[in-house]
Amino acid sequence: MRHSLSLAVTVATFLARFVASQPAPEELVPLFDALARGPSTVHANLAPRVPLSTNDDTVSPLVDLQVYAPPVLPQGGTKCTVQLLQHDFGDGSYNNPTIVPYKPPTEDACGAPGGWAAITLNMTVFSNGTQYDRLSSLYLSHVEIWRHSSAEPTKTGTVWSVKDVTRYSALFATSGDLLMDFSNIISSDLGLDGVFHVTLTGTFYAPTQGFGRPQTPDLILPITNLLPNQSNYFTVADDAGGSASVLVPRTAQQAFVEIYASGNSAEEFWYLNTPDEYLVYFPESTGLIGKGPFREVQVAVDDKLAGVVWPHAVIYTGGITPTNWRPLTAYGTYDQPTYFVDVTPFLPLLADGAVHNITLRVRGQGENPSINSNWFVSGSLHLWLGNTEISGSITKYEAPANPLPQTTGAVSADNATVRTLVVANRSIVIESVLHGDKGTRLVRFEQQLDYRNEQKYTDAGWVQWGVQTTKGTTTSTHGGEPVLRDAFTYPLSVFSNYTLYEAQFGGYGSAVNQSYLRVLDSPVLGRGARSIVSIQHAEGTVGMDDWPGLRHAINGTGATDQQFAFTTSSGQTYFRSIAAKNDAWVRDSVWGSLQDEEPPVPKEQIFPGGGPGFRRMVGPGIVRRAR
Ligand SMILES: *[C@@H]1O[C@H](CO)[C@@H](O)[C@H](O)[C@H]1NC(C)=O
Ligand SMILES: *[C@@H]1O[C@H](CO)[C@@H](O)[C@H](O)[C@H]1NC(C)=O
Ligand SMILES: *[C@@H]1O[C@H](CO)[C@@H](O)[C@H](O)[C@H]1NC(C)=O
Ligand SMILES: *[C@@H]1O[C@H](CO)[C@@H](O)[C@H](O)[C@H]1NC(C)=O
Ligand SMILES: *[C@@H]1O[C@H](CO)[C@@H](O)[C@H](O)[C@H]1NC(C)=O
Ligand SMILES: *[C@@H]1O[C@H](CO)[C@@H](O)[C@H](O)[C@H]1NC(C)=O
Ligand SMILES: *[C@@H]1O[C@H](CO)[C@@H](O)[C@H](O)[C@H]1NC(C)=O
Ligand SMILES: *[C@@H]1O[C@H](CO)[C@@H](O)[C@H](O)[C@H]1NC(C)=O
Ligand SMILES: *[C@@H]1O[C@H](CO)[C@@H](O)[C@H](O)[C@H]1NC(C)=O
């Protein structure tokens, strides 16, 4: 049965959860109100749906998308669009990124290099075949600028998405290398024939009277592995993490680290991993993974903790139940969110003229190491330069080296039913007195974080219900002025039922509720605060064929519903109410001032009853287990 969204209940629940430093209720009321009122015009169309699986070239591909906040762009000025990269990621593309030279565009319409009002990238991925979801990452001069995954295509499909990359202007202003990894495998044995045909364009916007160049960073340094021909993120499977050396100009006045981080392989579903103390109660065949569900990404300067990230869980298109995410993906799938730590308090050290280390680590709940294999993490150091050499010292440092998640639980006498609860909280305060361009001022960085994860297992682990909420605020002030505010709540609940997984013609099913509520005002992004509310409900099933031979997904159902609201402190808005069912779009309404930047899917693709569901002839499978 599909869940129907009860907005009133959702609003009340979220608002009740907010603690003092969270967004004030009145901040989010406009977002929820707009969703409750709905669009002024509703499109209904009964034209036949576009088939997901077809060899008919005359059929336009199914639109597949992740809902995102459209970029805020200057109107009425000039712009130019240039192709940055075109590549087919097929056979031999695994661990073999494509690398192309980049040069800033020189056409007048683009605006002067470095003086742009905005830069956006448009990535188009066409695939015609069968393929897993594959992770892609894009780097300019070794700085990661986009991490995204792919659709799980079966026959025709095109995905494109647009990303605001204005914050990387300093990188785009100079020549460099663009490196894109999209490790893909083509194998007739596995039935994987989907090549990813990628085209990446960049659009550069010249400043206008009312829309100038934002005060984005002057210099951006990579916190990556710097390899010339591989993915540049650190692949982290132990507690040491990845370190990069940075040489910071002595006149740096402000410094922020931006972080990309996602779990992969045994850490893809980290939020459902079982605390080690309780893993012993389950049969190994359930495939449950240990080291607990709590993860913290740490940023350290010369080994001293500078700040942490308690990340949003990004679910890929093959995640938990693949039929849930086609053609509407989970939030973050095609553009993973990033996080910011203000390391300005460390500038007297970082900008002393010597080389220093910035380390990115991931902490979990296991022992030596505390995580499974693996996490992909990268960062960039965003610097604003001035005229005076920065000096000063750290005057307050309250940042315990490690989080202390606490685990409790209960097990029934026959081990059939297990409950675990992991809670954690964290408070970090780092203050420095700095002497720089703006005289002497106090710089204060603060994080208040809270985490709760409850897992209930029945049927000896074949049925699992995980409910997690991560919430917190990260703030900084410079000379009393607010500089950074990141106030977020990431609730996630996943119910999965694998009771029939081992049976002939068995399968599995899941239901997922996931929200992303975040008010983010970061000087790296410029242009003031951005508020996002995304509420998703998904559920689906997958049927499998012959066991114990090769397991193939032969049929399935899936339905996903999403309410999305985006507002900016400059008054821009974007609202979307969208749903997909059984491989077809059933509803899509878009409204708000930015509605034309990312319009609804074409009316011809809306089929209110949903599609017939996923069916395939027996052949090599495209579906894998969730854990
Ligand atoms: C998709 O691939 C099939 C062969 O597998 C081919 O016949 C068809 O022309 C392709 N369609 C497009 C749009 O490329
Ligand atoms: C992105 O590129 C695709 C394919 O070329 C195009 O259809 C789409 O309109 C572009 N989107 C934007 C916002 O430019
Ligand atoms: C990748 O770069 C390393 C270091 O420059 C080099 O040794 C290696 O041969 C390169 N590999 C490929 C496949 O180009
Ligand atoms: C940076 O890390 C390297 C390797 O871990 C270490 O050898 C070096 O001493 C560190 N440098 C500083 C300034 O901490
Ligand atoms: C429950 O699991 C524990 C730990 O593996 C084991 O010692 C015990 O025998 C199990 N009990 C039953 C009834 O299977
Ligand atoms: C933070 O965690 C500690 C230890 O688990 C607990 O005693 C304390 O009550 C928690 N504080 C809050 C505000 O939840
Ligand atoms: C998702 O939310 C709906 C409505 O709020 C609720 O009925 C359902 O049990 C939730 N599902 C999960 C897996 O938490
Ligand atoms: C799990 O699925 C099985 C088979 O469809 C069903 O009998 C059982 O009731 C389900 N369990 C739960 C807790 O929904
Ligand atoms: C999937 O196929 C199996 C075996 O033919 C059948 O029992 C089941 O009802 C099918 N499920 C769906 C959702 O079509």
CB of residue 406 inside a 6 A radius of ligand 6: yes
> Range with the lowest mean pLDDT among 36-45, 147-156, 296-305?
36-45
C-alpha distances in Å from residue 272, one per residue of 182, 461, 623: 26, 12, 19
Residue 13, pLDDT score? 35
Better pLDDT: 203 or 506: 203
Better pLDDT: 152 or 350: 350
CB of residue 359 inside a 6 A radius of ligand 4: no
The DSSP letter of residue 30 is: H
CB of residue 500 inside a 6 A radius of ligand 8: yes
Mutate to test the pocket of ligand 2, among 160, 198, 596 (most ligand atoms within 8 A of CB): 160
CA pair distance 489, 17, nearest whole angstrom? 9
When pLDDT is cut at 50, 70 and 90, the band that residue 623 belongs to is very low
Using the mean position of ligand 5's atoms as its centre, give its distance from the Cα of residue 498 in Å: 21
When pLDDT is cut at 50, 70 and 90, the band that residue 382 belongs to is very high
Is the Cβ–Cβ distance between 537 and 573 less than 8 Å? no
Ordered domains of the chain (ranges, CATH): 61-213 (2.60.120.230)
CB of residue 95 inside a 6 A radius of ligand 3: no
**Distance from the first to the final alpha carbon of the chain:** 24
Better pLDDT: 330 or 604: 330
When pLDDT is cut at 50, 70 and 90, the band that residue 177 belongs to is very high
Residues 6+ apart with CB under 8 A from 352: 250
Residue 561, pLDDT score? 97
Residue 499, pLDDT score? 87
Which residues have any ligand 7 atom within 6 Å of their CB?
A: 3, 493, 495, 511, 513, 537
Residue 9, pLDDT score? 30
Q: What is the average pLDDT value for the chain, to the nearest integer? A: 89
CB of residue 388 inside a 6 A radius of ligand 3: no
CA pair distance 492, 293, nearest whole angstrom? 12
pLDDT surpasses 80 at 330: yes
Which residues have any ligand 9 atom within 6 Å of their CB?
A: 505, 543, 554-555, 557, 613
Tell me the residue ranges of DSSP E strands in 437-569.
439-458, 463-478, 481-497, 507-521, 530-544, 553-568
pLDDT surpasses 80 at 95: yes
**For residues 436-459, average pLDDT:** 97
CB of residue 280 inside a 6 A radius of ligand 5: yes
CB of residue 627 inside a 6 A radius of ligand 4: no
CB of residue 231 inside a 6 A radius of ligand 8: no
Using the mean position of ligand 1's atoms as its centre, give its distance from the Cα of residue 244 in Å: 45
What burial class does residue 596 get, using C-beta atoms within 10 Å of its C-beta: 0-12 exposed, 13-18 middle, 19+ buried? exposed
**For residues 71-100, average pLDDT:** 97
Summarize pLDDT for 467-477 with one digit per residue, the tens. Answer: 999 999 999 99
CA pair distance 239, 368, nearest whole angstrom? 7
Using the mean position of ligand 2's atoms as its centre, give its distance from the Cα of residue 598 in Å: 10
Residue 133, pLDDT score? 86
pLDDT surpasses 90 at 92: yes
- Ligand 4, atom 4, lies closest to the CA of 243
pLDDT surpasses 60 at 131: yes
Mutate to test the pocket of ligand 8, among 497, 500, 501 (most ligand atoms within 8 A of CB): 497
Q: Which ligand does the CA of 281 lie closest to?
A: 5
**For residues 190-201, average pLDDT:** 90
pLDDT surpasses 50 at 12: no
**For residues 220-249, average pLDDT:** 98
pLDDT surpasses 90 at 354: yes
Cα within 13 Å of Cα(485), Cβ side: 15
Residue 146, pLDDT score? 98
pLDDT surpasses 50 at 8: no
Summarize pLDDT for 564-597 with one digit per residue, the tens. Answer: 999 999 999 999 999 999 888 999 999 999 999 9
Residue 488, pLDDT score? 97
Is the Cβ–Cβ distance between 500 and 507 less than 8 Å? yes
Residue 156, pLDDT score? 59
CB of residue 373 inside a 6 A radius of ligand 3: no
Sign of the dihedral defined by the CA atoms of residues 334, 336, 337, 343, in that order: negative
Q: Which atom of ligand 9 is nearest to the CA of 543?
A: 1
Residue 19, pLDDT score? 33
pLDDT surpasses 60 at 26: yes
pLDDT surpasses 60 at 290: yes
Better pLDDT: 371 or 502: 371
Percent of the chain clearing pLDDT 70 (strictly above): 89
Residue 549, pLDDT score? 59
Residue 11, pLDDT score? 32
Summarize pLDDT for 480-536 with one digit per residue, the tens. Answer: 999 999 999 999 999 999 888 877 777 889 999 999 999 999 999 999 999 999 999
pTM, 2 dp: 0.92
CB of residue 281 inside a 6 A radius of ligand 5: yes
Tell me the residue ranges of DSSP E strands in 272-417.
296-301, 304-309, 339-342, 356-363, 375-385, 391-398, 406-411
When pLDDT is cut at 50, 70 and 90, the band that residue 209 belongs to is very high
Q: Which atom of ligand 4 is nearest to the CA of 243?
A: 2
CB of residue 228 inside a 6 A radius of ligand 3: yes
Residues 6+ apart with CB under 8 A from 323: 540, 541, 542, 556, 557, 558, 582, 583, 613, 614
CB of residue 229 inside a 6 A radius of ligand 3: yes
When pLDDT is cut at 50, 70 and 90, the band that residue 1 belongs to is very low
- Ligand 8, atom 8, lies closest to the CA of 499
- Collapsed DSSP state (helix, strand, coil) of residue 222: strand
Residue 546, pLDDT score? 66
- Ligand 1, atom 11, lies closest to the CA of 57
Residue 547, pLDDT score? 58
Using the mean position of ligand 8's atoms as its centre, give its distance from the Cα of residue 494 in Å: 15
Closest CA to 308 of 167, 423, 450: 450
Q: Which ligand does the CA of 202 lie closest to?
A: 2
C-alpha distances in Å from residue 581, one per residue of 66, 329, 449, 530, 566: 15, 12, 36, 30, 24
Percent of the chain clearing pLDDT 90 (strictly above): 74
Residue 40, pLDDT score? 59
Rounded to 5 degrees, what angle do the CA atoms 540, 542, 545 make?
170
CB of residue 497 inside a 6 A radius of ligand 8: yes
The full DSSP string for 102-121 is E-----GGG-STT--SEEEE
CA pair distance 422, 406, nearest whole angstrom? 5
- List phi, psi (to 5°) of 31: -70, -45
- The Cα diameter of the chain in Å comes to 75
Using the mean position of ligand 7's atoms as its centre, give its distance from the Cα of residue 409 in Å: 23
